[in-house]
Structure 1
Amino acid sequence: MRAGLRRRTTRADTGYGAFLSYSGERDRAVLPLVQNAIEKLPRPWYRFPRTRIFLDYSGVPIGAELWGKIVAGLSRSEWLVVVASPEAAGSKWVDREIEWWLANRSPETILLVLSAGSLFWDEEAGDWDRARSTALPPRLFGVFASEPVYKTLKWRADANGVPRPDIDAIAVGIAAVIRGVSEADVKSEGYQQTKRNLRWARTAIGALVILLVVALIAAVVARVQSNRAEEQAKIATARLMASVADTKMATDVRAALLLAVAAYRLDPSPRHRAALLRANLASPKVARYVAAPAEVTALQSSADGRTVVAGLADGQVVTWAPGGSVTTSVARLPGEIRSLAVAADGRTVLATDGASITLWGSNSGRPDFGVPGASEVDVVAVSASGKFGAVHRKETEAAEGTPGTVDIIDNAGGRVLSSHPIDRAVTSMVFTDDTALRLLETDGKVRQISLRGGADRDLSPLDTGPACGDGQDVGELSPDGSSFTCAVLPGIPAPVFRLRPTPSAVRPEPGYVGVAMPRRSAPAVLSRSARIAAVPSADAGFYVGPVTGEPRPPEPPPLITGTAVDFDRKLLRFLGTSETQLVSASGRLITLWDLAQRDRLAKSLAVPIVKGCNSCEPSLSLSPDGRTAVITGQDKDPGESALNSDVVIIQQLGPNPSRQLSIPGLSGKLAWRADGTMLAIAANPASGYERRVFPPKPHVETPFEVTVLSSPPPQISVEAAGVSSVSPTAVSLDSRGRAYLHDLATGGISSEFIPLGGAVDTDHVVEAGIDAAGEFLVMRDAEHISVYDLARQQNAHDIDGKDAQSVLFAGRHLLIRRKDSIEIWDRTGSNRERTIPFRSTRNSAAQLAAAADANVVVAKDEAGYLTVFAADGTNLGELEPDSVWHVPSAVALSADGRYLVTVNPGPAFSGGVDGTLIERDISPDGLIRAACAHAGPDLTGAEWNALMGVARPAQARCP
């Protein structure tokens, strides 16, 4: 029994014996006493508590931030103790915890404790009596096959007649079930333990020398156990971090990135490397975060997109160069910044806190302006050149929406040029140039004030009535002053009103942005050209779509999520003239969004490769050091011809990827000498000509030698090629199963032979490969796989190939992709080293990539999804397809497993866009570096505690 009890002991830092689910003030006061009683039941003084109990001290209702901790507590608990009461029966959060438990655990691990109300079992129905069971949460009806035994929390009067709960009875009952022993054994543990301690004490007195030896041994054992316990505690904490990171990926990418880094640094296992990769790929449109010194209250972007300006709650005005790591303070006012504006080049900023105005920039002779007494400023504007400013002010005592005044300011001289009374309050002001200012009023009317003559024109989109309708908020003018939007009810397309160019012009038809669920009272944000709009979602995130004449476009834009955006303060802007980059803010965090970004790991390069046909993917090979990519395919011809020619492109990767070389009129299979000093191109017959290609000597300046191997006869393609590591020869295999030996000095064919002796029918070879040393050849037909020893020119081994889909040499390993697994063999095919279970949910494709030691393996399916595996078979994650032209892409992995590279062809028409080469650093160091760089500021102590509720390890930080 004692051994059993020891096995059931639950360390505080690795899990919980039970999770207490409850609701109501009465149980909130009682359950901490129950928790304390269970954890303090008798135990040896030198051991941790036998049973730890998870209890949410904050009670209900709970919020979204706490639910991640609740799920973590549930997932680490062995039993669920439901404290039944009328309050629990009416709590949706108790039901939510039970729902999670039933989805992930057995009903037999649920214990019931009745604290108030009643429970009645209906024998005839075989379930709880729904009418009389007033304390049972609804999720527990229909769960138990027979009436379970439950405990009732009893109350007894103490010596003073005050009712007290019988805590010990409930604690012993719960502890007995969790430990799997009787209540009598639990109660008698203290007595048994005392006898055992006394017996040891008498033995110690009689045998001091023996005890000393035992103590030394025990110290060593304790040290080992302590180290093991610490390691297990680290792993448990790392798993909790990774679990919380997963729950935050859709709503708080920054937290997910930082927690995933912390988890991997605490426990650098494949499991946490997978969490790190998932976090880097989650919400791919989030590009970067930066932290402001205080809460952001106003946000703008310069027209050139190089400067983001933010006004803060403490009165500071800061600037940020998108992509930079810090903000720069440029001005300060006494109060919270209410409005600000920035010139096109970002060198002039006008800001107000309502009571004062500040002007910052190289052209400002006077940085501050006074505000007349009994007035307050709520909206400011700056012309694109920075020469002029505009200030809307109203009387302090006036009611909301009452008339005010717009002052036109000469920024250089610091003086008011003119003042213009207006009928209503304004939502925004925009200079269309240095001669005109447009004002959008709260009822949707638009006025244009001439800076030269002071003329006032009405450019409103409607002749009468509020533009947005009664009760609907008016948004802001687009940065070019041509349009504005309204807030609408969910399910209604967001309208975009176009302004009349002149008062007498015909009223333009409005545009629309059709989205699923816009957020009421938060208008859309327009790009500088007003062709694209960002519409806040009713739940979280936003949509970005074109402004069209159709209220409901056939393809609504996708929802973009990843971090919080303060829509109420209008803290979402397009970056400069871009229609794919935006900047937003919430709290102290400023976020850069890039809708064209594939993910935060991807580095894209244009390569002039186009699709030859819908099933003709290019070929891709990486140099042994992983810093050069070689691509063969169809070249994009910028001239008149729509049919493009063969080409080999040599693209340098790394920090300076600008170097790109082309070898026109050539295609074939690629092979490297193991030391990277030579690239051999086993040529195919010339495209468009039924003729053999003889080995030309390409004139390209590269760090390695490039040689061309003679092609097979016309209409016969090359299937595989390799360079010998011990002799100046190369070998290639054509589609008829005929092998050729080449002289590397000339590229010519020295001899040819048919690799016979194996089970593969060489007349029907569907795939072949040659290892990096040029010593072994693998061939596959419909039913067999044969490995051929090229040096001895004899078959080495045959492997069953009935369900094989692809084969690949990786260093000294042979990989075989089957329908439900990836097998890793030695390169001779004689010994299967390990198997990675994997069955794609989509149709699989015959393409694999692997590191030289097969410690990283990548499988691509027909849809273009890439699944990455670690050495132990852990699925590290899945990357979405990079191809956009519905053409199979090519994939390669560097020999060290660090760089994952894909090549995607462009469209096959003259003058079309290039194809794309995408490089990702998927090494742990690369993933950590990317996560820390994009996450920006590390989590503060308060943020960490709110997310985790446990102490942060010292190593769990960025960078």
Structure 2
Amino acid sequence: MGRIRGRGAGGTPRGEPGEYDAFISYSHAWDKDVAKAFQIALQGFDRPWYRPRSLKLFRDETNLAASPHLWQEIEQGLTRSRWLVVMASPSAAASPWVRQEIRWWLAHRSADTLLIGWTDGTLFWDPERAGFDWSRTDALPKQEMERAFEAEPRWVDLRWLRSPEQASAADPRLVECVAEFVAPLTGRSKDELIGDHVRRHRQTRRLVQATLAALTVLFLLALAGGVTAYTQRNTARAQTLVAQSRQLVAEASSIRDAQPDLARQLMVQAYRLAPTAEAVGALVDSYAIPRVVHGRGLVRAAAYSSRGLLAVADDDGLRLFDPARGTQPIFTESVKRQATAVAFSPDGKQLALGGANGTVRLLDVTDGSRPRALAETSGVGDRREVLVLVVTSGGQLVAMTWKTGAVLDVSDPARPRSLGSLPDYPVAASPGGDLIVTEERDTQGAYLGHLRLWSVSGSARPRPVATLASPPVDVSESRQRAVFSPNGPLLAIASKDSRVKMWDVADPARPVARADLYAQSRLGIHSVAFSPDATTLATGDSDGTVALWDVSDPLRPRSGARLSGHTRTVGGLSFSPDGHTVASADAYDTLLDDGTGPRTVRLWSVSGSERASAFTTLPTKGSFPPAFGPDSRTLAGGGEPTTVWRVDGTGTPRLLSTVETVNPGGQAAAFGMDRRTLFSGMPLKAWDMTDPTHPRPLTRGAARTVGAESLAVNPVLPLAAARGGPGERAQVWDIGDKTRPTLLGTLDSAGAERQDLAFSPDGTLLAASSRSGGVRLWRVARHAPPRPVGDLPTAKGKPRALAFGPQGRTLVVGDETGTISTWDVSRPGRPVRQGASTRHTGAITGLAFHPGGELMATAGLDGRIRLWDVRNPARPVEVTALSGGGLYPYATVGFSPDGRLLAGSDSTGIRLWTVDRTGILRQMCAESPRITPDQWAQYLPDRPYDPPCS
């Protein structure tokens, strides 16, 4: 740092009105921020806390107002200043204003009152010449300053000060520099100034600290009272919101079948008020709520195609729906001629529409959003309203009216031709078109007490082959009372006496009566439909109930779920091609209905003969834990064989490939963290899944001899743990070289039942059952055998399922008694039990944590799959028992890494639930109209109208 000259205070005398201690001359282009910081530091130096400033300085930006006479204002400032401070820099040397200010000062004041603050560039004094070396000095203007000084001046190096933020009063550099300037300005010594400044600074700091302490005490006292009141108020408000949320969930559950649209709105509002365990459970289980397609007037017919397209015909025409698009139609056709019957071709590419006067239209629906007309025929039968349509697998179309019908050849849909007429009073046709069922009536139309079965062969006339004792079907009153199973051997006939009679017609000449199904309805059963696999029969009652029956064994049918939501007779039923949705339509003409009022089609999520909240079931075998890929787009199901599926949410899950299975009963599989490797078997085998449609084996060496029952891959280290069959010890493998996995060691674990293995999220711990009947924690590392580090005390039963929480501090253990217990394993050598629950009544068979850490899923031998709120590990709270479509003992569970899906795997398949709450809320809002003000006032009378899906 240079030093400035100081020979006492020169210039105008101090004490004149309006005088300035110094005038600061600087370059706006370079030193604007430095000048501001410098001014603040000078004015605050050695200043008592009660004074606004210690020195009065002139700087154009703070002292000048906008004026056309700028130089006159500056000259007045120079005149009234005792010192000139020049901020030296190349920009200042080139500034005409700085040069003019220096010229004025040297003309009217002594050079001894000019102080230099060096901010940039170069300053060099040549002692031999007794002046600045202008060949090297560029921070001062040569012309003005060449003869200003007779001896070497002193200056202060301010090049380090570039912003106001650096002007800290506690910075020793700043104190030193500012004192150099203040000393000549005040006529005091530098040491004295620094001492006084430090002393005042300490006094001010102590005063501020004391004041702050007093204010803090007062503030804390006031805050304590305020916080207490605020907390009490918020607690009361939170409790009110929780109570309202739970009440809305209960209300929604009670009306979810009768008023599904309103139920969805109430559930969304319940979660909006408070995301309670009940609200979360209701959202996850909400897929079981029927979706509603509102008819435009009377619904005449509805049917699914083999490609999943849903056709709904009503008073206003035809609409087509894609399940992936929800209840918003992808095609709408408004016509005056209502379609009275609909049927798809077996391949789902053509749609037949029957209408009044015996007309039949054919549409190409290969692209469901752009149907294309193919042909139209008229005069079917007696030109009456077409009531039943069947498109056979042989390219024929059977059209039925109340009294007669016709068979059309539609193998060329653009040129349909008649093959002949049907016998009188037809009621049903088989999927292959080789069997026709008719009612036997006399010439006056009186029913004779039996149905007749006809055989149809090619273009030959139908011939009767058998009679079936049955009440009348009467398709003019209920057109879907008789139906063949998709594979043909079963015929179901419903009647007004609330009975469904089933016949085995595999041998048409000798039909065999099977078991009768009885329903509790007022006016009988009006519609029946088989699922695509013919294992489930749906019946529609006159009281608006859809009943599901398990007919996988026709000799011993079992009743399933009853779906009660319609307020009118169920007049039509149709299963989706995967069998997981059944569409039920209000009847459009009954004895007790005047035909007025809105009609709906309800879409029910089912699994077999039970209701389900899973959106789909993958046809896999084996209850091995479902294994999601790290990208959540693929899912491997251990079974016979191991299957790999695409589950990226862009459509219906689809099978990609299968991989080798060693055991006849299947094997566990798990993806590596590299996103492209699948491991299975014992010894371990690796598969390259870069192209999941073509798995490529990577491992060389010994053939697989055992299919691992439990398999876990370390999330961080290239390690895997696997356990074979009952009685075998678990093994830990180094999988760094996928072509030759290396066995690192075996664990002290064995048992008669399958037991889980679980790695901690940081990859350092492995949890496994121990031979003593408890759980042992092992420290794992690469190239080293596992080392035991701690044991969880033995509980009431042996452990069966294990899972670490996402943070790795919590381990959940499910045992053979149905108890789940949570443990704090942050100190593996001293695990601490936190909480437990015994909601399951059988052994725990599956455990999984949601990646977010708030949810946990369990599966038990009691067949239940339950969701838990584990935000407080010491008190797990059951969220819901999922409607999976029945009971699933021995099931296992797993969440996708992105937290979007929950998979439950058992011997009947892998069920998938959506657990992404944001996605569920968005879908529920999309599938239901906004709650009305009247509905809001009914369920939320104390809150202003604020619909949740606005």
State the match for 2:804 in structure 1: 809
Mapped partners of 1:880, 1:870: distance in 2: 18
Q: Deviations over 1:642-693 (max 9, x none)?
A: xxxxxx76655424754335255599887777x6468685963xxxxxxxx4
Give the drift of 1:776.
Answer: 2.4
Mapped partners of 2:752, 2:464: distance in 1: 82
AA at the equivalent of 1:291:
H
Any residues of structure 2 matched to 1:889-908 within 5 Å, and which?
889-895=891-897, 897-905=899-907
1:787 aligns with 2:800: no
AA at the equivalent of 1:242:
V
Give the drift of 1:273.
Answer: 0.6
Flag the 1:804–1:535 CA change in 2: closer, same or farther, 3 A.
Answer: closer
Q: Deviations over 1:60-103 (max 9, x none)?
A: xxxxxxxxxxxxxxxxxxxxxxxxxxxxxxxxxxxxxxxxxxxx
Q: Deviations over 1:577-636 (max 9, x none)?
A: 9988643224442123465467343443345xx55xxxxx535544444444455x6644
**Percent of aligned pairs with the same amino acid:** 12
2:763 alignment partner, one of 774, 782, 786: 774
Flag the 1:367–1:850 CA change in 2: closer, same or farther, 3 A.
Answer: same
Runs of 5+ unmatched residues, structure 2: 1-222, 364-371, 587-597
2:500 alignment partner, one of 477, 494, 498: 494
State the match for 1:910 in structure 2: none
1:956 aligns with 2:948: yes
Mapped partners of 2:309, 2:733: distance in 1: 61
State the match for 1:618 in structure 2: 624
Flag the 1:555–1:835 CA change in 2: closer, same or farther, 3 A.
Answer: farther
1:848 aligns with 2:847: yes
Contact 2:613 2:882 (C-alpha < 8 Å) held by counterparts = no
Flag the 1:805–1:761 CA change in 2: closer, same or farther, 3 A.
Answer: closer
State the match for 2:618 in structure 1: 605
Contact 2:668 2:680 (C-alpha < 8 Å) held by counterparts = yes
Mapped partners of 2:541, 2:882: distance in 1: 26
2:910 alignment partner, one of 907, 917, 920: 917
State the match for 2:870 in structure 1: 871
Give the drift of 1:865.
Answer: 2.1
Q: Deviations over 1:748-802 (max 9, x none)?
A: 65865989xxxx9999998764424332244534465443444698764444223
AA at the equivalent of 2:949:
R
SS in 1 for 2:328: coil
Give the drift of 1:244.
Answer: 0.9
Runs of 5+ unmatched residues, structure 1: 1-215, 394-403, 612-616, 637-647, 685-692, 907-915
1:938 aligns with 2:929: yes
Mapped partners of 2:631, 2:405: distance in 1: 65
State the match for 2:158 in structure 1: none
Any residues of structure 2 matched to 1:62-141 within 5 Å, and which?
none
Flag the 1:309–1:435 CA change in 2: closer, same or farther, 3 A.
Answer: same
Give the drift of 1:564.
Answer: 1.5
Contact 2:709 2:754 (C-alpha < 8 Å) held by counterparts = no
SS in 2 for 1:558: strand
1:349 aligns with 2:348: no
TM-score (norm 2): 0.53
SS in 1 for 2:828: coil
Mapped partners of 1:733, 1:405: distance in 2: 67
Mapped partners of 1:410, 1:732: distance in 2: 60
1:654 alignment partner, one of 625, 628, 648: 648
State the match for 2:293 in structure 1: 290
Mapped partners of 1:752, 1:227: distance in 2: 56
SS in 2 for 1:659: strand
Give the drift of 1:275.
Answer: 1.9
Give the drift of 1:574.
Answer: 3.1
Mapped partners of 2:741, 2:618: distance in 1: 34
Give the drift of 1:869.
Answer: 0.9
Mapped partners of 1:454, 1:444: distance in 2: 27
Contact 2:355 2:385 (C-alpha < 8 Å) held by counterparts = no
Flag the 1:670–1:583 CA change in 2: closer, same or farther, 3 A.
Answer: closer
Mapped partners of 1:579, 1:741: distance in 2: 42
Flag the 1:949–1:498 CA change in 2: closer, same or farther, 3 A.
Answer: farther
Mapped partners of 1:711, 1:435: distance in 2: 55
Worse-superposed segment, 378-387 or 593-602: 378-387
Mapped partners of 1:339, 1:802: distance in 2: 65
Contact 1:858 1:866 (C-alpha < 8 Å) held by counterparts = yes
- Structure (1 or 2) with the larger CA radius of gyration: 2
State the match for 1:541 in structure 2: 545
Contact 2:542 2:568 (C-alpha < 8 Å) held by counterparts = no
Mapped partners of 2:464, 2:722: distance in 1: 78
SS in 2 for 1:927: helix
Give the drift of 1:537.
Answer: 4.4
Q: With CA pairs under 8 Å and 6+ residues apart, which has the higher RCO, 1 or 2?
A: 1
Any residues of structure 2 matched to 1:318-717 within 5 Å, and which?
318-320=319-321, 324=325, 325-327=327-329, 328-333=331-336, 339-340=340-341, 344=345, 347-352=351-356, 384=391, 443-444=446-447, 461=467, 467-468=471-472, 478=482, 485=493, 487-489=495-497, 493-495=499-501, 513-525=516-528, 534-537=538-541, 541-545=545-549, 554-564=556-566, 566-567=568-569, 571-575=571-575, 582-586=582-586, 587-593=598-604, 595-596=606-607, 599-607=612-620, 618-630=624-636, 635-636=640-641, 653-655=647-649, 658-660=655-657, 662=659, 676=674, 681=679, 684=682, 693=683, 701=690
Q: Deviations over 1:296-333 (max 9, x none)?
A: 342143776766554545x5454545665334443433
Contact 1:238 1:266 (C-alpha < 8 Å) held by counterparts = yes
Contact 1:408 1:419 (C-alpha < 8 Å) held by counterparts = yes
Contact 2:712 2:758 (C-alpha < 8 Å) held by counterparts = yes
Give the drift of 1:803.
Answer: 2.6
TM-score (norm 1): 0.53
Flag the 1:737–1:944 CA change in 2: closer, same or farther, 3 A.
Answer: same
Contact 2:543 2:568 (C-alpha < 8 Å) held by counterparts = no
1:800 aligns with 2:793: yes
SS in 1 for 2:862: coil
Mapped partners of 1:602, 1:931: distance in 2: 14
AA at the equivalent of 2:600:
L
Mapped partners of 1:530, 1:774: distance in 2: 45
AA at the equivalent of 1:277:
V
Give the drift of 1:405.
Answer: 10
1:241 aligns with 2:248: yes
Q: CA RMSD in A?
A: 6.5
SS in 2 for 1:601: coil
Mapped partners of 2:911, 2:654: distance in 1: 12
Mapped partners of 2:271, 2:605: distance in 1: 27
Flag the 1:234–1:488 CA change in 2: closer, same or farther, 3 A.
Answer: same
AA at the equivalent of 1:585:
A
Give the drift of 1:838.
Answer: 1.7
Flag the 1:877–1:343 CA change in 2: closer, same or farther, 3 A.
Answer: closer
Flag the 1:930–1:387 CA change in 2: closer, same or farther, 3 A.
Answer: same
Give the drift of 1:408.
Answer: 12
Q: Deviations over 1:446-466 (max 9, x none)?
A: 79999x999999999589xx9
Flag the 1:588–1:794 CA change in 2: closer, same or farther, 3 A.
Answer: same
Give the drift of 1:242.
Answer: 0.8
Q: Deviations over 1:204-224 (max 9, x none)?
A: xxxxxxxxxxxx999999999
Mapped partners of 2:422, 2:699: distance in 1: 80
Flag the 1:832–1:240 CA change in 2: closer, same or farther, 3 A.
Answer: farther
Mapped partners of 1:500, 1:784: distance in 2: 57
Flag the 1:339–1:952 CA change in 2: closer, same or farther, 3 A.
Answer: farther
